[in-house]
């Protein structure tokens, strides 16, 4: 299933998107517990920045990875029977920060919220 790093941790100005992706992640994990006795394996990939047309005319972030690299990593993790697959490495690092060093994460999230709030005020969009 297609999740997002945003479904695993709070990202300012993406609340509705985050809620839908959190639901996909939770559903996938639930299905894994329910149906693994039937021999079924479920995975949800939770990308941050993958260079796809979603960026439109914008330059993809420096930490973005190509589609081929993303697909290769997803398949490697599926072979290991990973349920939640977070990519790229920068997203895994950010997720670890959220889980293990919450106060530091909070500072980063508040700064991002301030930047996005200002962008909305001056540009009409958060990016």
Condensed to tens digits (0 to 9), the pLDDT of residues 79-125 reads 999 999 999 999 999 999 999 999 999 999 999 999 999 999 999 98
Residues 6+ away with beta carbon under 8 Å from 113? 12, 13
Q: Quick one: pLDDT band at residue 54, thresholds 50, 70, 90?
A: confident
Q: Compute the distance between CA of residue 46 and CA of residue 20 in angstroms, rounded to an integer.
A: 12
Per-residue confidence band for 58, with pLDDT thresholds at 50, 70 and 90: confident
pLDDT score at 126: 86
Q: Are 100 and 109 in contact (CB under 8 A)?
A: no
Task: Please spell the DSSP secondary structure of 4-71, one letter per residue.
Answer: -GGGTS--TT-HHHHHHHHHHHHHHHHHHHHHGGGT----EEEES-B-SGGGTTSPPPTT-B-HHHHH
Peptide bond between residue 88 and the one before it cis (omega within 30 degrees of 0)? yes
Output the CA angle 35-37-40, nearest 5 degrees.
50
Question: What domains appear along the chain, each with residue ranges and CATH number?
Answer: 5-123 (3.40.50.720)
Structure pTM?
A: 0.90
């Amino acid at each position: 299933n297609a999740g997002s790093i945003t479904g695993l941790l709070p990202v300012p100005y993406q609340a509705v998107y985050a809620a839908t992706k959190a639901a996909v992640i939770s559903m996938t994990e639930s299905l894994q517990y329910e149906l693994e006795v039937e021999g079924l394996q479920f995975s949800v990939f939770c990308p941050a920045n993958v260079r796809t047309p979603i960026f439109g005319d914008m330059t993809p972030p420096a930490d973005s990875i190509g589609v081929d690299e993303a697909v290769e990593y997803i398949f490697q993790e599926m072979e290991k029977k990973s349920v939640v697959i977070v990519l790229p490495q920068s997203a895994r690092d950010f997720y670890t920060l959220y889980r293990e060093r919450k106060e530091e994460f909070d500072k980063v999230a508040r700064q991002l919220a301030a930047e996005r709030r200002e962008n909305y005020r001056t540009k009409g969009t958060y990016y």
